[in-house]
Amino acid sequence: MELPYIGITGFTTLDQVSILMDTWLTHKKETKALFMMGFLVSYKSFHHMQQNSEFCKKEETLLQMLKNCQDKSILRTIHYNTKCKQFFNEIDSFLAPILNSSDAIQLNIVDPDPKEITLLHEKYPNLKIILQICEPLLSDLYRLIEYEPCGCSYYLVDSSRGKGLPFNVPIMASQLSNIRRISSQIQLGLAGGILPESIHSYAKLWPEYSFDIQSGIRTNNKFSIPKAQQYLLNYLLSKEEK
């Protein structure tokens, strides 16, 4: 099974990458986890049709950020958003140079076709695939059996689909337990409403799982480096405590 990760999504500048990478490498010590550095990308963002400030818009800047955060303890991850059902062709048509410089891709796609994921895995066998689990899959978890042969490394449970809505702990615990019974070898992760102040308790409650934050480290919809640092340090503190 893959190592769990502690994730931050929404990097768009070289300074953000440099400072958070330095924070991680300085304080991680012997932590048995990866730091997932997430870069939001879509077809629209790369073709000047996406105004969201959380998305990467220039290929050359993204390639430089990916180059600058190379380390065996860092999972450089492209978070891909699309409504296209034939997403493999869309991804492969313009993201090949990016994927060849990345460690993972997260598919933020509603009800994705398992065949498309298989095509992605076959074309990029060294790329770890993170599948975002949201509705309608959350209401029909046994369909995850369809994704078992596709080459996914992680399932990220996010009922809010990137909106930062907090999850209900008992419901999340039940969902994780049900997913684990279906998929025993795939690393699980949680997202949705996580804050720098809450990551410590979540990491203590579910030490074996991965976590990802996006809206929780933003102030006035802007990436906050101090909040991101606090989030990382609180997670690492949970790993140091007995």
* Domains of the chain by start residue, with CATH: 5-240 (3.20.20.70)
How much is the pTM? 0.94
Q: What is the C-alpha separation between 20 and 102, in angstroms, rounded?
A: 17
Q: Residue 163 in contact with residue 11, Cβ under 8 Å? A: no
pLDDT in tens, 189-209: 999 889 999 999 999 999 999
Residue 110 pLDDT: 86
CA distances from 224 to 17, 28, 75, 203, 220 (A): 12, 20, 20, 21, 9
Torsional sign, CA 154, 33, 24, 240: positive
The closest of 18, 53, 21 to 35, measured between CA atoms, is 21
In 57-178, beta strands by DSSP E: 74-81, 104-108, 128-133, 152-157
Stretches in the chain below the pLDDT threshold 50: none
- The predicted structure's pLDDT at residue 163: 66
Q: What pLDDT does 197 receive?
A: 96
Which helix H or strand E contains 173, and what residues bound it?
helix 169-182
- Residue 47: per-residue pLDDT: 74
- What is the pLDDT, as a whole number, of residue 51? 64
pLDDT of residue 135: 79
Confidence (pLDDT) at 164: 67
